[in-house]
Every structure is written in structure tokens, then in C-alpha cells.
């Protein structure tokens, strides 16, 4: 249902480097880039995620109540993304761990204050 989502940034170069690592962990790569925006997607061209300098020229801020989820295929990748975020200017919003029976997640903010979650949901038995 989601085609793409963008998050504001005040430093496109820094944000690009920050998300290049996360994209690599989930098997995505840069898909589109201008002097205002960088987006990433997976080879199957699923939903894209991007960072963008606001068109109105005002400072970017993290949306209050906004959060973007990054699905991964293992709990190890949840930890890799979370550890990368905290080591590279991000901040903790909830360490890696189970959230209920079928959801393993870590919550963090990127250097611009955007809130994200890296999550793993094991396949459900039929």
C-alpha cells in the first residue's frame, strides 16, 4: 500500500551516509538522487524510503507521532541497524527486544530526529 516515504533532513550528505549503511543491511540501494533528495529501494522495487531537504527552506524536524518501519529478515539485522544508528548520531527510543509474541524490534531516531523502527516478524504457522 505504501509507495514511498520521505523524512526531512538538514544535512543531505550526512543523512545519505547514515542511510546507505542501513540500506546495505536490508539489501537496498540508492534509487534516485538530486541536490534535495536521496531515496533507496530494494531490487524488486518495493516501497522506497528517502531523505529530503524541505522545499520551503525551513529547517527539517522529526514529525511528532510519525515513525517509519524497516522490515528485516532476522533479529541480528535489527541489532545491526540499531547499533549503527546509535554509533552514528542516532538516539535510542527502545532497545532491541521482543514486543509481544511475533514482533522483535528496536526503536531509534536518526541524526535529524526522525523516528524509525527496525523490526523482524517470524513467519506465522498456518
How confident is residue 126, by pLDDT bands cut at 50, 70 and 90?
Answer: low
φ/ψ of residue 94, rounded to 5: 150, 110
C-alpha cell of 30? Answer: 540508492
Q: Give 13-56 pLDDT, tens digit per residue.
A: 999 999 999 999 999 999 999 999 999 998 887 889 999 999 99
Using CA atoms of 17, 28, 122, 126 in order, give the dihedral in degrees to the nearest 10. Answer: 160
Tell me which of 86 and 124 has the higher pLDDT.
86
Model confidence, pTM? 0.87
- Can you give the pLDDT at residue 4? 87
Enumerate domains of the chain plus CATH numbers: 4-53+69-120 (3.10.180.10)
Amino acid at each position: 500500500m505504501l509507495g514511498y516515504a520521505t523524512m526531512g533532513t538538514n544535512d543531505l550528505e550526512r543523512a545519505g551516509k547514515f542511510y546507505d549503511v542501513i540500506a546495505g543491511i536490508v539489501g537496498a540501494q540508492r534509487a534516485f538522487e538530486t541536490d534535495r533528495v536521496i531515496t533507496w529501494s530494494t531490487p524488486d522495487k518495493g516501497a522506497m524510503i528517502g531523505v529530503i531537504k524541505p522545499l520551503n527552506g525551513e529547517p527539517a524536524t522529526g514529525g511528532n507521532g510519525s515513525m517509519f518501519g524497516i522490515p528485516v529478515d532476522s533479529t541480528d539485522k535489527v541489532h545491526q541497524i540499531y547499533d549503527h544508528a546509535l554509533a552514528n548520531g542516532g538516539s535510542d527510543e527502545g532497545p532491541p527486544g521482543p514486543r509481544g509474541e511475533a514482533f522483535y524490534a528496536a526503536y531509534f531516531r536518526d541524526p535529524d530526529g526522525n523516528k524509525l523502527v527496525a523490526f523482524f516478524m517470524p513467519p506465522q504457522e498456518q
